[in-house]
């Protein structure tokens, strides 16, 4: 089990799209959910809920709906749902942050993840029986990596940050 500091986890995290078939232990999943549980949220509303999907037929159906065959290799999907009645303005961003906490915590346990965008996909909501009053935010594929992708180029800070107002560049 690797031990990561936060900055190391942020810079070493990669989107993994190829997984070994090894099963992910339930205790590890609970640890990932614990990381999500401690995510900050507006007014501590904690608007998130998670569906752990390990049913291969459902994972394959989601891969087909998404049109991304790599998803079928994931042993687990963690699907994130938010509740707009709990936090009308911030439910989606708070829930996305919780998924990101999971992706960083996964590194500690040798797991890889990849974000799967599927905001409010009707077919996925029906497949997973998500109530209409809940918002499907997205999902993470989770498993033991069977690849080690290199880091991709990042924009320089001068291209993404400004002082005091938009356009006032950082030297």
Please name the residue that has the structure tokens 């998130």.
48
Percent of the chain's residues with pLDDT above 90: 88
**Could you give the CA distance from residue 9 to residue 105 in angstroms, rounded to a whole number?**
8
41-78 per-position pLDDT tens digit: 999 999 999 999 999 999 999 999 999 999 999 999 99
pLDDT value at 88 more than 80: yes
Distances (CA, A) of 95 to 12, 44, 73: 22, 12, 24
- Indicate whether 30 pLDDT > 60: yes
d(CA 63, CA 67): 6
Is residue 157 one of the residues assigned to a domain? Answer: no
- Specify if 165 maps to a domain: no
Residue 131 lies in a domain: yes
Q: Is residue 133 one of the residues assigned to a domain?
A: yes
Classify residue 168: in a domain, yes or no. no
Domain membership flag for residue 39: yes
DSSP letter at 157?
Answer: G
Over residues 90-102, mean pLDDT? 97
> Model's pTM, two decimal places?
0.92
**CB contact at 8 A, 86 and 72:** no
H or E segment and range at residue 11: helix 6-12
Domain span holding position 81? 6-145
Overall number of domains in the chain: 1
- Residue 77's domain is classified under what CATH number? 3.40.109.10
Do 94 and 82 form a contact (C-beta atoms < 8 A)? yes
Judge whether residue 3 has pLDDT over 70. Answer: no
Q: Which helix (H) or strand (E) holds 102?
A: helix 91-108
**165: number of Cβ within 10 Å:** 6
- Predicted pLDDT at 7: 86
Q: Which of 73, 37, 49 is nearest to 125 (CA)?
A: 49
Is pLDDT of 4 > 90? no
Answer whether 85's CB lies under 8 Å from 135's CB.
no
Is residue 140 in a domain?
yes
Residue 158 domain-assigned (yes or no): no
Those residues with Cβ within 8 angstroms of residue 49's Cβ, 6 or more apart along the chain or in another chain:
80, 81, 82, 83, 134
């Amino acid at each position: 089990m690797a031990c990561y500091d936060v900055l190391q986890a942020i810079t070493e995290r990669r989107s993994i799209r190829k997984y070994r078939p090894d099963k992910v232990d339930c205790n590890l999943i609970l640890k990932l959910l614990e990381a999500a549980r401690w995510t900050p949220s507006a007014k501590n509303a904690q608007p998130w809920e998670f569906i752990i999907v390990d049913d291969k037929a459902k994972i394959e159906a989601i891969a087909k709906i998404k049109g991304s065959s790599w998803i079928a290799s994931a042993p687990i999907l963690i699907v994130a749902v938010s509740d707009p009645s709990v936090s009308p303005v911030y439910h989606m961003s708070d829930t996305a942050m919780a998924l990101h906490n999971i992706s960083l915590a996964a590194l500690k346990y040798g797991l890889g993840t990849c974000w799967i965008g599927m905001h409010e996909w009707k077919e996925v909501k029906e497949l997973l029986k998500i109530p209409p009053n809940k918002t499907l935010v997205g999902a993470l594929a989770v498993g033991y990596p069977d690849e080690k992708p290199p880091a991709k180029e990042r924009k320089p800070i001068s291209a993404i940050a400004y002082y005091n107002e938009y356009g006032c560049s950082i030297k």
